[in-house]
Amino acid sequence: MEDDPGAPFFNDTTKYVVSSTLTTATWRNSKIVGPYDPDAIRSLKDEVDGDFYVSGSGTLVRAMLADGLIDELHLFVFPLTRGSGPRLFPEEAAPGKFSLAACASYENGVVYLAYRPQA
């Protein structure tokens, strides 16, 4: 959707795809990282200038949280109930502390929260 206002960001930004099944990138400016490997992610964070944004993979975010690879967690809380579904933090996750970095609320009831892990 080239007429989408978010399209330039997604089309022009380099995308690093963590996947154990994909071998060929189909999106423009995409690079396959391979299966999840915390050391590969650490190396990538050292090599790439700027921030990483993880979209669409709670599994990847949970793994990166467990391995201490998240510098900031951005959450949007929507005023609706979904019933049962995936959890961001699994029941067996070790307790963690976070500090609030930013927050905002919107007229539609959505609340934005940014947290940084505390050591």
Ordered by start, the domain boundaries in the chain are: 1-69, 72-119
Instruction: Provide the pLDDT for residue 90.
Output: 79
Distance CA 98, CA 111 (A): 17
How is residue 64 annotated by DSSP? H
Instruction: Provide the pLDDT for residue 58.
Output: 82
Distance CA 119, CA 61 (A): 18
Please report, for residues 44, 72, 102, the alpha-carbon distance to residue 99 in angstroms, rounded to integers and kept in the order given: 25, 10, 9
pLDDT for 19-32, tens place per residue? 999 888 888 888 89
pLDDT: is 84 or 110 the higher one? 110
pLDDT for 21-78, tens place per residue? 988 888 888 889 899 999 999 999 888 888 888 877 888 988 998 898 989 999 998 8
pLDDT bracket for residue 2 (50, 70, 90): low
pLDDT for 86-99, tens place per residue? 778 878 888 889 99
Instruction: Provide the pLDDT for residue 81.
Output: 79
Distance CA 33, CA 43 (A): 11
Instruction: Provide the pLDDT for residue 1.
Output: 52
Side-chain-facing half-sphere of 73: CA atoms under 13 Å:
23
pLDDT bracket for residue 103 (50, 70, 90): very high
